[in-house]
Amino acid sequence: MNIAIGCDHAGYELKDKIKAHLSEQGHAFDDKGTNGPESVDYPDFAHAVARDVHDGKVDLGILICGSAQGVAMTANKHQQVRAAVVWNNEIAQLSRQHNNANVICLPARFLEEKDMLSCVETFTKTVFEGGRHERRVGKISC
């Protein structure tokens, strides 16, 4: 699977750990940054990931910021992007199964590394159920 990944200064260390973990499973990444602790503007990185998802250049997106709210709000401005704030495995699974989420947004300041890795793994392995959910997902975009 090809994945675009991006973060702000709150998530750059976790971004590299997620990439290493998922690379072991054969996933490829388009890293949109940031790559250091200097303060940056999260929309720059969220838009870059969301554009790649919207344009079909990647299968999924991963975004990380302090609360995950800012990157989710930004990514969801793009048509065809369904960004979900995820804080546990059940939410990761349901966001894919029922909402066909294609971007996972993770709160760096509120999740332990092991929990974040588990959520990302669940997100990447779960497929959209379709069926009754397809109609609902079709009503999301304006």
Catalytic residues: 65, 98
Check: CB of residue 67 under 8 Å from CB of residue 110: yes
Spatial separation of the C-alpha atoms in residues 124 and 100, rounded to whole Å: 11
Q: Which two tokens stand for residue 10?
A: 């709150």
Check: CB of residue 138 under 8 Å from CB of residue 37: no
The torsion angles phi and psi of 92, rounded to 5 degrees, stand at -60, -45
DSSP 97-121: HTT---EEEEETTTS-HHHHHHHHH
